[in-house]
Amino acid sequence: MKNQKLKLVVGSGKGGVGKSMLTSALAMLFAEKNKVVAVDCDVDAPNLAIWLNEIKLWDKKIPVATSVKPEIDLNKCDGCGLCVEKCRFEALKMEDGKPKLNPFLCEGCGACEVICPKRAIKLKPVQNGEIRIKKTKYNFPLVSGNLFPGETGSGKVVSELKKEADKFESDLQIIDSAPGTGCPVIASLQDANFAILITEPTPSGFSDLLRVLEVVNHFRIPWKLVINKWDINPKLTDEIVKWAGKKFLGKISYDKKIFKAVSNLTPILETNLRAKKEIISIFVRIRKFVDYDQTSKTKKDLV
């Protein structure tokens, strides 16, 4: 890292709860006074660029090869079929007396390489994704990861894109995590200084929130909670607010016009919707505890 920087991750257990909307707005708001880098770690479905209206013409694309697949030397292969038999993922099948790979089923486990008596199989790195970088019109760079369809290794792609994000001089990274609790989420959260968790007042939203919270607590990351679409179930919202106690940060209203705005590539902060005002007041509260002092370069009151 070129200098000390604060990493603020926006996470959710469930997809579709407003994580990228909140991340994009926070990046724009913090960028007014801070040197920000926006990082999209949702490599299976990266959409931070859409919320920032920055989908066209990336400045730079960096290939990533974090998975391996077998390469079979058919001249050495005698067609014994052992590799096909031992592949637990059914990624190999015999065709015309020789093994043929289905790359979409292959997990790169290496069992076929080990088992082959003729040493005809070698695991080779393959490009499974890319990192895309763009200087946004809001005066901060966006670093985004993209795992290619059918590929494995999402957590490793996130680790690589975070290394790229660290190359930018900044005092604050706003990170859009993948939903869920899998490898990309763990890679997104592992060195975070703070997590803003966002949920919606539905039984599945709350249940998934508890799951991601286990990861957040594992890494001992201080966190606060935002409830999106709070008015679709005010009773459950009240219960979640009570449960969260001092961790509760704010709520955002449900509004169909938000979907219209994003489909028109209009960032939420460039609308006149109620959600805009609600997000700004959430931002003001975040600033109070993630108070990054540009002059002294200290991190205050993170808990």
The site for ligand SF4 (CB under 6 A) is made up of 70, 72, 77-83, 87, 89, 91-92, 99, 101, 106-112, 115-116, 118, 120-121
Residue 91: how many other CB atoms lie within 10 Å = 22
Q: Which is nearer to ligand SF4, 87 or 225 (CB)?
A: 87
State the nearest-atom distance from the C-beta of 95 to ligand SF4, in Å.
11
CA distance 11 to 90: 34
Closer by beta carbon to ligand SF4, 67 or else 136: 67
Residue 101 CB, nearest approach to ligand SF4 (Å):
6
Do residues 269 and 29 touch, judged by C-beta distance below 8 A?
Answer: yes
CB of 146 to ligand SF4, least distance (A): 22
CB of 222 to ligand SF4, least distance (A): 40
Minimum CB separation of residue 74 from ligand SF4 in Å reads: 8
Q: Which is nearer to ligand SF4, 22 or 72 (CB)?
A: 72
Beta carbon nearer to ligand SF4, 118 or 287: 118
Query: In this structure, which amino acid lies at residue 80?
Result: C
Q: What is the three-state SS of 172-229?
A: EEEEECCCCCCHHHHHHHCCCCEEEEEECCCHHHHHHHHHHHHHHHHCCCCEEEEEEC
Shortest distance, position 194 Cβ to ligand SF4, whole Å? 39
Q: Is the dihedral of CA 201, 207, 211, 213 positive or negative?
A: positive
Q: Residue 72 or residue 143: which is nearer to ligand SF4 going by CB?
A: 72
Closest distance between ligand SF4 and the C-beta of residue 138, in Å? 43
Nearest Cα to Cα of residue 42 among 69, 78, 9, 74: 9
What the block records as the tokens of 292 is 């990054």
Query: Based on CB atoms, which residue is closest to ligand SF4, 52 or 68?
Result: 68
What is the four-CA torsion angle of 77, 83, 85, 90, rounded to 10 degrees? -120
In terms of CB distance, is 49 or 121 closer to ligand SF4? Answer: 121
Contact by Cβ (8 Å): 209, 180: no
Cβ atoms 188, 41 nearer than 8 A: yes
Give the burial class of 274: count Cβ atoms within 10 A of its Cβ; 0-12 exposed, 13-18 middle, 19 or more buried. middle
CB of 125 to ligand SF4, least distance (A): 13
Assess contact for 10 and 249: CB atoms under 8 A. no
Q: Is the CB of 112 or the CB of 273 nearer to ligand SF4? A: 112
Judge contact between 267 and 53, C-beta under 8 A: yes
